C-alpha cells in the first residue's frame, strides 16, 4: 500500500542541496519558506541526500505523533545518542520501557504540591542574583539579559537539586563544565559532517573526560547526602526517596546521578531563554509591562511571593505563555516512526523523521490571528478554549510532556515578580537581536537591554 497513497509535497532534492548551507546557518527562514511554497506539511531530503524527513505545523499530525499514536514514535538519535554520550541515560535521553519506569518513579516528585516546597529557595536565589545585578548596573546599565538569565536559571536548578549541600566552588565548577559540554553538544548536533573529525582529533574523548569530572562532583554530593542524616526538601531528596512501584527499591547511585545531570541540562537553558525573550518583549511594550506591574503590585505588593500569589498572577502567566508562543525555547521536537503510519490521509513509511515545527505552528497565520503580534490577551481564560489543541505546545505533549513544566512556570513567574519590582527596562535603539535556533532558541548575539532601578513611586502607584 505504501507508495500508492498520498505523500506530502516534496521539496526537490536540488533545492534542498541549494539551501543546505543557509539551512545550517539558520534553519528557521528556510523552514518558513518551504512551508510557504509547499504547505504546512512537506517532505524533504535530509541534508539533500537520500533519506526523507517530514516537517509539519499541523496540530492534528503533531497530536497524532506526540499523543494519539506515540507508541509508534521514538526520539531521534540526537537525544538518545549524542546527548546520552555526555549526560548518561536519564529521563530526557532514554526510551521505551526503561524511560517509562523512570518517568513513573520521578513524576510524583514534580507534582505541584512538591514543587511548591521549592518556592523559598527560588525566591532567595532570585533575590540574591538580582541584588548583584543591581550593583552591576551602577557601573554599566546595559546588560545582556540572556547571559544574566542563564546564570540565574543555572543557580536556581542547582539549588533546587542540591539546596544547602552545594557550596559556591562546586556550583562554579559545575557551571563551567556543563557550559563546555553544552557547547560541544551543540557543535555535534549542528555540524554532523564534523563528527568523524571530532573523534579523530580527540575532542570527543576530551569532552567525555569533562563529563566524567562533572559526574565526579555529582557523585560526591550524592554520597554526602546519603551518608548524612539530612532530609532536605529538594529534588535530590526526591530522587533518593523515590521507590519503584513493582520492587519497592530505589534507584542505583548511577541512575540517580544520570537523572540529576539530565535535570541540570533540561532545567536551565530552556527557562533562561524563555525569560530573556520575555524581558526583550517587555522592553518593547510599555503598556504590557505597566499592566504586569499593576497585577504584581495588587497581588504581591512588597511581600515575598508565595504559592498562593503565584496562582493569582494570571496576567503574569499569560505574558509568559505568549512569550513562549513567539519564542518557544524548544523550537522543534523530533521523532522517528517505528512502523508505517497513516495520518490525515498521508502514508508515512517506517523510519520517517518527523520534525514537529513548534516555532512554525506558534506563528502560523492559519492557527493564530496576527501571529507575530505580542498579545498576552490570547491566553486569557475566556479565550483559551478557542486555541486548537497542539497548535501551542512549548512543553511538548503526550506522555513525554516536559516533566519540569510546573517548576519552570513557577520559576519564571517568580523571576518576573522580582525583576519588575526592581528594574525598568529600555530597549537599545538599533539593537540587532534575532533568534538563532541551536538546540534551543537562543538569541544570536545576546539581548542587550538598558536597566535602571525602578523608582519607588512607580512600584506603589502604577
Ligand atoms: C521554559 C522552560 C522549559 C521548556 C520550554 C521545556 C520544554 C520541554 C520540551 C518541549 C520537552 C519534550 C521534548 C520532547 O518531547 O522531545 C521537555 C522535556 C523534559 N524537560 Fe523540559 N522544558 C522547560 C523546563 C524544564 C525544567 C525546569 C526541567 C527540570 C527541572 C525540565 C526537565 C525536562 C525533562 C527531564 C524532560 C524529559 C521528560 C521525559 O521525556 O520524560 N524542563 N521539556
Segment 192-202, tens digit of pLDDT = 778 888 889 89
Provide, rounded to the nearest whole percent, the portion of the chain with pLDDT above 70.
Answer: 97
pLDDT on residue 456: 52
Q: Write the residue with the smallest CA distance to atom 6 of ligand 1.
A: 395
Instruction: Say if residue 461's pLDDT is above 60.
Output: no
Ligand 1 atom nearest to CA at 393: 10
CA angle 305, 307, 312 (to 5 degrees): 85
pLDDT on residue 318: 98
Q: Which of 76, 82, 111, 108 is nearest to 95 (CA)?
A: 76
- Contact between residue 11 and residue 43 where contact means Cβ atoms under 8 Å apart: yes
The mean pLDDT of 54-63, rounded to a whole number, is 98
Q: In the structure, what pLDDT confidence band is assigned to residue 21 with cuts at 50, 70 and 90?
A: confident
The mean pLDDT of 117-131, rounded to a whole number, is 95
C-alpha cell at 373: 503580534
Q: Is the CB of 330 under 6 A from ligand 1?
A: yes
pLDDT on residue 270: 95
- Contact between residue 137 and residue 451 where contact means Cβ atoms under 8 Å apart: yes
Instruction: Say if residue 186's pLDDT is above 90.
Output: no
CA distance 265 to 304: 28
State the distance from the centre of ligand 1 to the C-alpha of 401, rounded, in angstroms: 7
Query: 1-87+331-362 — its CATH code?
Result: 3.30.43.20
Instruction: Say if residue 120's pLDDT is above 60.
Output: yes
CA distance 159 to 152: 11
**Residue with the larger pLDDT of the pair 51 and 349:** 349
Residues in Cβ contact with 253 at an 8 Å cutoff, skipping those fewer than 6 apart: 219, 222, 223
pLDDT on residue 6: 82
Q: Write the residue with the smallest CA distance to atom 27 of ligand 1.
A: 267
Least confident of 179-183, 272-276, 292-296, 370-374: 179-183
Q: In the structure, what pLDDT confidence band is assigned to residue 185 with cuts at 50, 70 and 90?
A: confident
Q: In the structure, what pLDDT confidence band is assigned to residue 460 with cuts at 50, 70 and 90?
A: very low
Per-residue pLDDT tens over the stretch 429-438: 999 899 988 7
Environment class of residue 209 by beta-carbon count within 10 Å: exposed (0-12), middle (13-18) or buried (19+)? exposed
Instruction: Say if residue 2's pLDDT is above 70.
Output: no
pLDDT on residue 216: 93
Q: How many CB atoms lie within 10 A of CB 47?
A: 15
Q: What residue spans of 201-306 are helical by DSSP H?
A: 203-227, 235-241, 253-266, 269-282, 286-299
C-alpha cell at 92: 530526557
Q: In the structure, what pLDDT confidence band is assigned to residue 5 with cuts at 50, 70 and 90?
A: low
CA distance 185 to 194: 12
Instruction: Say if residue 457's pLDDT is above 50.
Output: no
Eight-class DSSP state of 398: G
Q: Is the CB of 161 under 6 A from ligand 1?
A: no
Q: How many CB atoms lie within 10 A of CB 282?
A: 23
pLDDT on residue 3: 44
Least confident of 217-226, 303-312, 453-462: 453-462
Out of 77, 234, 266, give the residue to mutate to test ligand 1, the one with the largest number of ligand atoms within 8 Å of its CB: 266
Residues of the chain with CATH 1.10.630.10: 88-330+363-461
Out of 333, 402, 412, give the residue to mutate to test ligand 1, the one with the largest number of ligand atoms within 8 Å of its CB: 402
pLDDT on residue 179: 85
pLDDT on residue 37: 95
pLDDT on residue 435: 93
Q: Is the CB of 34 under 6 A from ligand 1?
A: no
DSSP β-ladder status, 423-427 and 353-356: unpaired
**Residue with the larger pLDDT of the pair 456 and 80:** 80
Q: How far apart are the first and last CA of the chain?
A: 65
- Contact between residue 402 and residue 111 where contact means Cβ atoms under 8 Å apart: no
State the distance from the centre of ligand 1 to the C-alpha of 267, rounded, in angstroms: 7
Per-residue pLDDT tens over the stretch 35-57: 999 999 999 987 655 678 999 99
pLDDT on residue 395: 98
- Contact between residue 453 and residue 287 where contact means Cβ atoms under 8 Å apart: no
Q: Is the CB of 262 under 6 A from ligand 1?
A: yes
Element of type H or E holding 406: helix 405-422
C-alpha cell at 66: 506526540
Q: Is the CB of 404 under 6 A from ligand 1?
A: yes
Instruction: Say if residue 458's pLDDT is above 60.
Output: no
CA distance 110 to 108: 5
By three-state DSSP, how is residue 89 classified? coil
362-369: long-range pairs with CB below 8 Å, 24+: 362/325, 362/326, 362/328, 362/391, 362/392, 362/394, 363/325, 363/326, 364/40, 364/57, 364/391, 366/40, 367/57, 367/59, 367/391, 368/325
Residues of the chain with CATH 3.30.43.20: 1-87+331-362
CA angle 335, 74, 266 (to 5 degrees): 75
- Contact between residue 403 and residue 425 where contact means Cβ atoms under 8 Å apart: no
Question: For residue 420, how many C-alpha atoms fall within 13 Å in the half-sphere facing its CB?
Answer: 31
Q: How many CB atoms lie within 10 A of CB 103?
A: 14
Instruction: Say if residue 392's pLDDT is above 70.
Output: yes
Q: Is the CB of 448 under 6 A from ligand 1?
A: no
Partners of residue 279 on adjacent β-strands: none
Instruction: Say if residue 126's pLDDT is above 90.
Output: yes
Cα-Cα-Cα-Cα dihedral sign, residues 254, 265, 53, 191: negative
pLDDT on residue 86: 84
- In sequence order, what DSSP letters do the residues of 292-344 get, joined into one string? HHHHHHHHTTTSPP-HHHHHH-HHHHHHHHHHHHHS-SS--EEEEESS-EEET
Q: What is the mean pLDDT of the chain?
A: 91
Cα-Cα-Cα-Cα dihedral sign, residues 349, 350, 353, 357: positive
Task: Specify the fold of 88-330+363-461.
Answer: Cytochrome p450 (1.10.630)
Residue with cell 521507590: 243
Q: Write the residue with the smallest CA distance to atom 20 of ligand 1.
A: 402
CA distance 152 to 117: 19
CA distance 4 to 65: 22
Q: Is the CB of 236 under 6 A from ligand 1?
A: no
Torsion region of 435: left, alpha or beta (phi above 0 gives left; psi -120 to 50 gives alpha): beta
Amino acid at each position: 500500500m505504501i507508495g500508492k497513497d498520498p505523500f506530502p509535497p516534496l521539496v526537490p532534492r536540488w533545492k534542498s542541496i541549494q539551501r543546505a548551507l543557509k539551512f545550517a546557518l539558520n534553519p528557521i527562514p528556510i523552514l518558513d519558506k518551504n512551508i510557504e511554497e509547499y504547505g504546512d506539511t512537506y517532505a524533504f531530503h535530509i541534508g539533500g541526500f537520500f533519506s526523507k524527513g517530514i516537517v509539519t505545523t499541523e496540530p492534528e499530525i503533531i497530536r497524532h505523533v506526540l499523543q494519539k499514536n506515540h507508541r509508534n514514535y521514538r526520539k531521534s538519535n540526537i537525544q538518545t545518542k549524542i546527548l546520552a554520550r555526555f549526560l548518561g541515560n536519564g529521563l530526557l535521553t532514554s526510551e521505551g520501557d526503561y524511560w517509562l519506569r523512570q518517568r513513573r518513579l520521578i513524576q510524583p516528585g514534580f507534582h505541584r504540591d512538591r514543587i511548591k516546597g521549592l518556592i523559598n529557595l527560588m525566591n532567595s536565589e532570585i533575590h540574591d542574583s538580582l541584588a548583584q545585578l543591581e550593583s552591576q548596573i551602577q557601573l554599566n546599565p546595559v546588560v545582556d539579559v540572556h547571559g544574566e538569565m542563564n546564570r540565574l536559571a543555572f543557580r536556581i536548578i542547582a539549588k533546587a537539586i542540591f539546596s544547602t549541600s552545594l557550596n559556591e566552588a562546586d556550583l562554579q565548577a559545575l557551571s563551567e563544565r556543563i557550559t563546555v559540554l553544552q557547547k560541544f553538544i551543540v557543535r555535534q548536533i549542528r555540524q554532523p559532517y564534523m563528527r568523524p573529525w571530532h573523534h579523530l582529533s580527540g575532542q570527543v574523548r576530551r569532552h567525555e573526560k569533562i563529563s566524567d569530572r562533572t559526574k565526579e562532583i555529582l557523585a560526591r554530593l550524592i554520597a554526602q547526602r546519603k551518608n548524612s542524616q539530612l532530609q532536605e526538601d529538594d529534588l535530590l531528596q526526591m530522587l533518593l526517596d523515590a521507590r519503584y512501584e513493582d520492587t519497592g527499591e530505589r534507584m542505583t547511585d548511577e541512575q540517580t546521578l544520570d537523572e540529576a545531570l539530565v535535570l541540570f541540562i533540561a532545567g536551565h537553558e530552556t527557562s533562561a531563554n524563555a525569560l530573556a525573550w520575555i524581558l526583550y518583549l517587555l522592553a518593547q511594550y510599555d503598556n504590557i509591562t505597566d499592566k504586569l506591574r499593576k497585577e504584581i503590585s495588587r497581588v504581591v505588593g512588597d511581600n515575598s511571593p508565595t504559592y498562593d500569589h503565584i496562582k493569582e498572577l494570571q496576567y503574569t502567566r499569560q505574558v509568559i505563555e505568549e512569550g513562549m508562543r513567539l519564542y518557544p525555547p524548544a523550537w522543534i521536537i523530533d521523532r522517528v516512526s517505528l512502523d508505517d503510519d497513516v495520518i490525515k490521509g498521508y502514508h508515512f513509511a517506517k523510519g520517517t523523521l518527523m520534525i514537529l515545527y513548534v516555532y512554525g505552528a506558534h506563528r502560523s497565520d492559519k492557527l493564530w490571528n496576527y501571529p507575530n503580534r505580542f498579545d498576552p490577551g490570547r491566553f486569557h481564560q475566556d479565550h483559551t478554549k478557542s486555541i486548537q489543541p497542539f497548535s501551542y505546545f512549548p512543553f511538548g505533549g503526550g506522555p513525554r510532556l516536559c516533566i519540569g513544566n510546573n517548576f519552570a512556570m513557577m520559576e519564571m513567574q517568580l523571576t518576573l515578580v522580582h525583576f519588575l519590582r526592581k528594574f525598568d527596562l529600555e530597549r537599545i535603539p538599533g539593537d540587532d537581536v534575532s533568534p538563532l535556533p541551536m538546540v534551543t532558541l537562543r538569541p544570536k548575539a545576546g539581548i542587550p537591554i538598558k536597566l535602571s532601578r525602578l523608582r519607588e513611586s512607580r512600584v506603589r502607584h502604577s
